[in-house]
Amino acid sequence: FAEYQSIQAVQATMILSTLFCCVAFLVFILQLFRLKQGERFVLTSIIQLLSCLCVMIAASIYTDRHEELHKSNEYGIEVSEGQYGYSFVLAWIAFAFTLVSGVMYLVLRKRK
């Protein structure tokens, strides 16, 4: 299947994005107890923005390869009439939310 690498790239970057989100949450909890008052959650923000980048890469790859993926003769069923599904829409929504979350962590300061 010629487009198999594209599918694997999308899967890998989405999994990497999920891992980055989990790590960002754990780093946030750690920084919550370690940072001095008034400091920013910069490390958490960087990790969250990396997660945002991974989601964007995955959704962009799938958007670019959508036609080739659905016109392949490798499938046992007819998928040439395939449409973008709800998962595709959710991926772009996840991109927007992780971007907003990363920016909010960058602006956020620790309070008493």
The residue type at 11: Q
Only one residue has tokens 């962590």, namely 105
Q: Which one, of 48, 63, 53, 64, lies nearest residue 13 by Cα?
A: 53
Give the C-alpha separation, 55 to 28, whole Å.
20
Q: Are 39 and 110 in contact (CB under 8 A)?
A: yes
Give the C-alpha separation, 37 to 32, whole Å.
10
Q: Where are the domains of the chain?
A: 1-68+86-107
Q: What is the pLDDT confidence band of residue 77, given thresholds at 50, 70 and 90?
A: low
User: What would the pLDDT profile of 78-102 be if each residue is shown by its tens digit?
Assistant: 555 556 678 888 999 999 999 999 9
User: What would the pLDDT profile of 27-76 be if each residue is shown by its tens digit?
Assistant: 999 999 988 988 999 999 999 999 999 999 999 998 888 777 666 666 55
Burial of 105 (0-12, 13-18, 19+ CB in 10 A): buried
pTM beyond 0.95: no
